Amino acid sequence: MLSTTTLLFVSSIFGLATALPAPTPWGSGWSNGSHQGNKPVSESGINVQLGPRPYYLINDMSESPLKDKLESCTEGPFSTSSFSISHRGAPLMFPEHSRQGYVAAARMGAGIIECDVSFTSDRELVCRHSNCDLQYTTNLLAHPDLAAKCSEPFVPYDPATGTPASAKCCTSDITLAEFKSLCAEMEATTFDAINTTEYSGRIGSTPDWRTNMYAYSCAETMSLKDQISLVGSMGLNFTAEAKTPEVPMPFQGNYTQEDFAQQIVDTFVEANIDPTRVWLQSFLPDDIYYWIANDPAFGEQAIYLDERADLTADGYTTAVASLPDIAARGVNIISPSIWMLVTADNATGKIVPSSYAIAAKAAGLEIITWSFERSGPLEIEGGGYYYESVANLIERDGDEFIVIDVVAREVGATKIFADWAATITYYANCFGLE
Ligand SMILES: *[C@@H]1O[C@H](CO)[C@@H](O)[C@H](O)[C@H]1NC(C)=O
Ligand SMILES: *[C@@H]1O[C@H](CO)[C@@H](O)[C@H](O)[C@H]1NC(C)=O
Ligand SMILES: *[C@@H]1O[C@H](CO)[C@@H](O)[C@H](O)[C@H]1NC(C)=O
Ligand SMILES: *[C@@H]1O[C@H](CO)[C@@H](O)[C@H](O)[C@H]1NC(C)=O
Ligand SMILES: *[C@@H]1O[C@H](CO)[C@@H](O)[C@H](O)[C@H]1NC(C)=O
């Protein structure tokens, strides 16, 4: 993915900026080939805007050649990059899997936008991170008629015992029309609700490093078909994850896991989307092998999401050992979480590729990882889950770019998921990753 031409091109713009004899009306340092007027032209046609966050992170970095390089790119140009994958839209700030979140990610240069796919009671496909998260990602509980359909009813927080509030409301409990009547909310984390209206029908509260700013007006929930229309209309590409069902399959007696996997493919085919524009994903290897066998054009770039290291004590070792076999079975792309790809070289104090990353490359697998910008402040517990293998080397927010850089240039990841696409787009544009 590293385009040497673009890298040289970008460097030369900045190298020559001060030597340009006559600045163009919109300022110096702009290449005539990548700008018309003051509008950077992406293949997508989107005038990409990255906002202040990448600059904040760069300013926060300790001095290093990487910081110098990133600082050399402050004035752009910025454009859509397929290195930058929008994870659930833009959930650092916008309700996940909402139209508003997807549009925000597109503006921030994500070349690929994710829909996590779940099914409704009338077997329509909708974008939701989990089959059964409607109680904390939408305002469903504020609708008494829909709340009555939840797999498990709302039980308020019990201050006497400290038992958290609970409910289990699944996409498969309601119809597509009912789903589309819901508003997407910020994902909540603490389940201390005493009644269902307390947090606009959602239980739990938004972490203080995110915001509810864009959740007060109803953020639009979307079907997969809506999402394909929207992302297609912006000229961008797609990634769709078959979310592991939390209801017994076959659902309603005869809707099998294979039917679900096939329906996702059929939806893209009906929308006339070329398979090279679609990256299907699943944590269930059988879904990947199903696509490889039955929909090879889609199977070709299906993403095997690998969380095995999180599931058992020897999961990491097992995962590393299995990579050649996975490749031999036709999988081309592997996608573990960030921590699995990096490790702390304590002798040098450097973050380096992990044995998993080395084994995946040796097996010829393309590597994609998830998810940056999901962790909250890195000062707190070294960034938590996503950074857990390098936590002792993480001190400040700006260290995020060090990890991104190791993942991109040393591990050789070809794409990165992020909850705030701007950060990854900035990096990709600066290093000429298209
Ligand atoms: C625009 O860039 C091209 C190379 O991409 C160059 O040949 C041409 O001279 C440039 N034109 C101006 C007006 O700078
Ligand atoms: C829900 O709880 C809030 C206080 O947290 C209270 O103000 C409100 O009246 C309660 N609503 C209902 C319907 O009980
Ligand atoms: C699946 O079962 C439903 C009843 O739950 C029935 O209406 C439908 O025809 C069945 N579909 C197939 C393909 O067997
Ligand atoms: C979308 O995918 C196609 C096929 O892989 C590629 O040619 C195109 O550049 C991609 N577009 C964007 C905006 O990333
Ligand atoms: C590096 O040191 C930290 C503690 O300082 C430790 O937790 C970690 O396991 C070490 N990493 C490796 C790869 O040895």
Query: Residue 195: its pLDDT value, please?
Result: 74
- Contact 277 CB / ligand 4 (< 6 Å): yes
CA of 33 to the centre of ligand 1 (A): 7
CA distance 14 to 354: 34
CA distance 28 to 192: 54
CA of 280 to the centre of ligand 4 (A): 15
302: left (phi over 0), alpha (psi -120 to 50) or beta: beta
Mutation to probe ligand 5, out of 346, 352, 387, 395 (largest number of atoms < 8 A from CB): 346
- Contact 282 CB / ligand 4 (< 6 Å): no
pLDDT in tens, 58-107: 999 999 999 999 999 999 999 999 999 999 999 999 999 999 999 999 99
CA of 16 to the centre of ligand 1 (A): 14
Residues with CB under 6 A from ligand 2: 194-195, 197-198
- Ligand 5 atom having least distance to the Cα of 343: 13
Q: Mean pLDDT score of the chain, rounded to an integer?
A: 90
Q: 89, 426 in Cβ contact below 8 A? A: no
Query: Residue 204: its pLDDT value, please?
Result: 84
Residue showing tokens 């792309």: 333
- Contact 254 CB / ligand 1 (< 6 Å): no
CA of 222 to the centre of ligand 2 (A): 30
Query: Residue 19: its pLDDT value, please?
Result: 41
CA of 344 to the centre of ligand 5 (A): 6
More confident residue, 44 or 209: 209
CA of 200 to the centre of ligand 2 (A): 11
Question: Which pair of structure tokens corresponds to residue 12?
Answer: 């030369």
Query: Residue 42: its pLDDT value, please?
Result: 57
pLDDT band at 190 (very low <50, low <70, confident <90, very high): confident
Nearest to 393 by CA among 359, 360, 350, 334: 350
Q: 367, 417 in Cβ contact below 8 A? A: no
Nearest residue by C-alpha to atom 4 in ligand 1: 33
Segment 139-167 shows an average pLDDT of: 93
CA of 26 to the centre of ligand 1 (A): 16
What pTM was estimated for this model as a whole? 0.87
Distances (CA, A) of 252 to 22, 158, 230, 255: 70, 34, 30, 6
3-class SS at 300?
Answer: coil
- Ligand 3 atom having least distance to the Cα of 254: 1
| Run of H or E including 211 | none
CA distance 138 to 125: 16
- Ligand 2 atom having least distance to the Cα of 195: 1
pLDDT in tens, 363-380: 999 999 999 999 999 998
CA of 126 to the centre of ligand 3 (A): 21
Mutation to probe ligand 4, out of 78, 82, 276 (largest number of atoms < 8 A from CB): 82
Query: Residue 424: its pLDDT value, please?
Result: 98
Segment 125-145 shows an average pLDDT of: 95
The β-bridge partners of 219 are 184
* 13-20: Cβ within 8 A, 24+ apart: 13/77, 14/72, 14/73
Tell me which DSSP letter residue 18 carries.
G
pLDDT in tens, 207-260: 999 999 999 999 999 999 999 999 999 999 999 999 999 999 999 999 999 999
Mutation to probe ligand 2, out of 197, 200, 202, 205 (largest number of atoms < 8 A from CB): 197
